Amino acid sequence: MPPGSHLGCGLKGSGRLVAGDGSATLRLEPLYRIRFTYPEAWEVGLEGGWEQHLYLAEGRCEGSIAGRFRGANFPQRRTPMGPFVPDIRAVIETDDGATVMVELHGYGRAYPPGSRQIVGSVLHVSDSDRYRRLNDVVCVCVGEVRAPDDPNQESPDLVIDVAELVWEPIAQ
22 phi-psi bin (left φ>0, alpha ψ -120 to 50, beta other) = left
7: Cβ contacts below 8 Å, ≥ 6 apart = 19, 20
Q: pTM (2 decimals)?
A: 0.85
Question: Does the pLDDT value for residue 67 go beyond 70?
Answer: yes
Assign 19 a pLDDT band (cuts: 50, 70, 90): low
Average pLDDT of the chain to the nearest whole number: 87
The CB density around residue 47, as the number of other CB atoms within 10 Å, is 5
Assign 11 a pLDDT band (cuts: 50, 70, 90): very low
* % residues pLDDT > 70 (the chain): 86
| Residue 138 to residue 20: CA distance in whole angstroms | 24
Q: Among the listed ranges 22-36, 50-64, 98-112, 137-151, which one has the minimum average pLDDT value?
A: 22-36
Residue 82 CB burial class (10 angstroms; 0-12, 13-18, ≥19): middle
| Residue 36 to residue 102: CA distance in whole angstroms | 14
Question: So what's the architecture of 29-166 in CATH?
Answer: Beta Barrel (2.40)
